[in-house]
Structure formats: structure tokens, C-alpha cells
Structure 1
Amino acid sequence: MFRILIIRSIWVMFSISIVSLIAPTGISQVMANEENIIAEVEENSEENVEVSESAIVPVEIYKYDISSVLVPTSYALALNPYELPIKTNDGNVSTSQIISHNYGIVNRSTRDKLITITLSIEDMNAGKIIFVDSSEEALKADEDIYAIYLTVVPSDSTGIKINGANIGKDTSAEALASVAMNKAEEKAVVLKEGENCISFKLARAIYEFGGNKEIELHLDKSKTEEYEPQLVDLAADNGGVTAFTFDGVMNPNADWGKLSKGVNVSVTYSYKNVVGDETIVNGTGAMIAN
């Protein structure tokens, strides 16, 4: 190939030197022939390109989504307007006007969860009880007014315990009906008759596959079915647990004995995956602003 090109170049140069003495049009013809040859070489090169068949690569999503939130299965709440000494299940005696256990919530899910508690308050005395906005308003109410300042109080960030131990992955829902917590009293939410809400942001739990396996990138996609996620632990630093309780005061001057009934509190839990822009209120362990 190299030798042919050299000979051809000599011929072209020779033709130009002779033809130029005869007629200028001969030069154009020779150059045109040269361009045609180059074009043929380029065209032949394109014909030699081979294209393989397309390979379809299925790109799967390696995921697992376990939704598991533990909430209390029972509740203990009482109104104690005359501050009688009431023994609680932790062995202590309380004279508070609103006596309540502390209730825990645990996120055992694979995703961060936003848990909302809806508390529906109903007076069972045909509207005789008034739910006021402040403790002062209840304590200074006239004697003929059945005033209650009722709140739900979140736990602070110091942690939740049961019988002196931290809540763990094996804690039962039944055990969450009475936990130990420190109140974030300044962040209490006032409850009024009707629906009231309080929300918490809890971090996801820690899972592994088969206890100690790792996810591998296999050519055979069916091998991913061998993995079964197992709960290893709750989120670090108590990020996956929280608690709340009820508190408040009542008008001590009212004749509460004239009422035949108390109030009903309906508790409903709902939860969803965290979006990411929820901010925990300072001073609380997990409560977010509604």
C-alpha cells in the first residue's frame, strides 16, 4: 500500500508538469480523480465496521422496606382534682391532679419514621367540663366552672428506660405502657376538646442480611432472594425511641363530685416515612413542630 501511493504521487507530479504546458484544464481532471480515489478508500473503511448486537442489562433496585412501629397496648390516666394520694405502678405515690403513666414508642423500621398521635378528647358530661389554655386559668376559675388544663408532654433527650434498662430491639409493645422518662415540660401541647395532634421523628433501626451477610452484586439476579434482613439493634443514641405522658391541673374549687362521669381520651397512631425537612424541637427527644 505504501509503495503504490509513492508511485502514484510521482505520476501525478509528472502529469502536472507536462499537462500544465498544454492546457490548465488537465490539472482539474487529475485532482478530481485523486479525490475520487480517496473517497473510495474512506467508503470502504466504513463498510468494514462491524456492530455487535445490543445487550439488555436489567438494572434492579436492591431494597428492603420493613415498617414496624411499636406503641403501647394499654393506658392508665386519671383525674384527681382533690390531690388524693394515688399509688402508681412504679411504687411511688402521686398527688397530682392529672395522674398518668408514661408511654413509649419504638421505631423498628428500616426507614426513619414520622409518628403522629391523634388524641381525641370528649367530655362525658354534656359539655360541663371546659378545657382551658393555661394552668392559671384553671386554678383561678370560679367554683361553678369545671375547668381542666390538660396537656400531653413529650420526653426530653435523656433517654427512655424500662425497669432501669434502655429500651432495646426485643422490648415488647406491652412494656411500653409504663416507661421511665424525663418530661420536656416547657414543650407540652395543650389539649382541647376534639382532635389534637403531636408528632415524633424516630430514626430507623439497624438491619443485616442473615445476621452477618452482605449484599453482593451477582450476575444471577435470583441470588438476591437468599437474603433475609434481620433486626440487629435500634438506632444509636436513643434516636429510635421516645415517650410521652399526660399532665395538667384542675379547678380545685369546683365540686367535681357532682359530675357523674369523667372524660374519654381516644388515642390513634399513624406513621409514614420521613421526608427529610422535619426538625426536632429543641429540648425534646423527638417531637417535631406540627
Structure 2
Amino acid sequence: MGIGADILSDWHAAHAALLWLQELGAVDPVADEPVDRYALAEPVREVPATASRRAAAPPPPEPVAAPKIDPAQAAQTAARQAITLQDLHAAIAAFPHCELKKGARNTVFADGQQGARVMLIGEAPGRDEDIEGRPFVGRAGQLLDRMFAAIGLGRESPDPGSALYITNVMPWRPPSNREPTPEEMAMMVPFLQRHVELAAPDMLVLMGNTPLQAVLRQRGITRLRGQWQQVWGLPVLPMLHPAYLLRQPHQKREAWADLLALQARLRG
């Protein structure tokens, strides 16, 4: 075999070797300088469009807390919108911010004659008042009727001069007949003041510590009873609550003195 055949055989052998190396992954078998594969930059990876949009999307907004409601301010607004006593009754019955309402059977609004010269303000409904929906209908209410009948006043009288108009600070019965809390009273005082404005009596009688605290912002009914004061443009007489007189009958003498003072004021 000649020299040309040897060269051809070497070429075929080299070509076969090159193909074998390519199959093993050697894609650059010949270069002018060696290549450091570890120094090459990592290839740029294409980010799917959906992932790019997710990354660029702004975070969701922080939830906005509901504004805190001041029950006393809400009561003030609702009370001022009442034009008549019927409006006021409906506004109180719809008032949602007093927890006492949830446990009460009835909203106890008022009793007696609208336009009466004397308006009595009691504390809160008891069991009998909650059942009937009227203030002062239990034993204490019966005593109250006898007390004021002794000076010629009554809730059934059609004459404004001898009639009584009766309401409470709280329109709903507190659990176990407990005293209303200062917070509960504060949210009802705007309704009470509007009640007095719409009823337009000549004078107020506060029966017990709760109305004394709610209306005059004082406590100590046994000390302050019988002492005329002024509030909301009206003369105010604090008196002992009839329920207290049932427990302390010896205090009826002081209650009688207060009734005579009220009678004198009406005649004066």
C-alpha cells in the first residue's frame, strides 16, 4: 500500500475518533487557546411572563379598621333627630349600642300624662316593669302612686296640673336588678335630656341615686334628698326611691317632707 493509502487511513481513524469524542460531549475539540468553563458566566434564564407579572404586582392593601363608635355621641345624634315623643321612643328602641337591650323583654319608655307639670325620673326597670313595658308597676310603683296621691298627683289624672309623667334613666332592665354602670348611663343621658325637652314639664323629681348621678352627676341621695337644684333649665327635687322606703320604712317621714315641698312649689 502506498503513502496516499496510509494518509487516507489515518484521516478516517482521526475522523472516527473525533465523532467518538463529540458523542462524549467534546463539542470544541480544537481551539487556539484553552477554555476555562468554570469562569464562564451562567446562562441567563428566561422568566415566564406570568411569574414576572406576579413579582411586579403590588402587595394587597392593609385592611382598614372600622371607625370606633362612641355610644354617647351616637345617642346624642339619634336623640336630636327626634321631633316628637313617638320619634324618641322609636329611636331608643332602635339604639344598638347598649348591651342591656339584648337581655330585656321590653323597652320601657314612659307612663302617665304627656304635658304634666311634674316629671318623675326613676332608675331602671325591674322584673315587673320589664314584663309590662311601663315604669313603676311593681311594689315600689304601687307605693309611689300612694305617695303622690297624698298630695293630689297621679299618673292617671287628665289634668296637667295634677298629672304625673314618669320615665327612667335606663329603658332596659339590668341583669339581677343591678345598678347601671356609668358607661350605660352616659349613653342614655342624651335620650333622657331630649325626653325632658319634648315632655316640657315645669319641674323634675329624681327618684333615687341613679337619676341623681345621671342628671346632676352627684351621689348620696340620703344626703341630697329634699334639696332643690337646677338642671336643663328646670327646678329639680331629689327624693328617696320607693324601693328604698320599702326596705327602710322609717325614712317615710323624710319622703313625706319632700312631697310637701313639691306641693308647695306647685302652688307657689
- The TM-score, its normalising length taken from structure 2, stands at 0.23
Larger Rg over CA atoms: 2
The structure where helix makes up a greater share of residues is 2
The structure where strand makes up a greater share of residues is 1
- The TM-score, its normalising length taken from structure 1, stands at 0.21
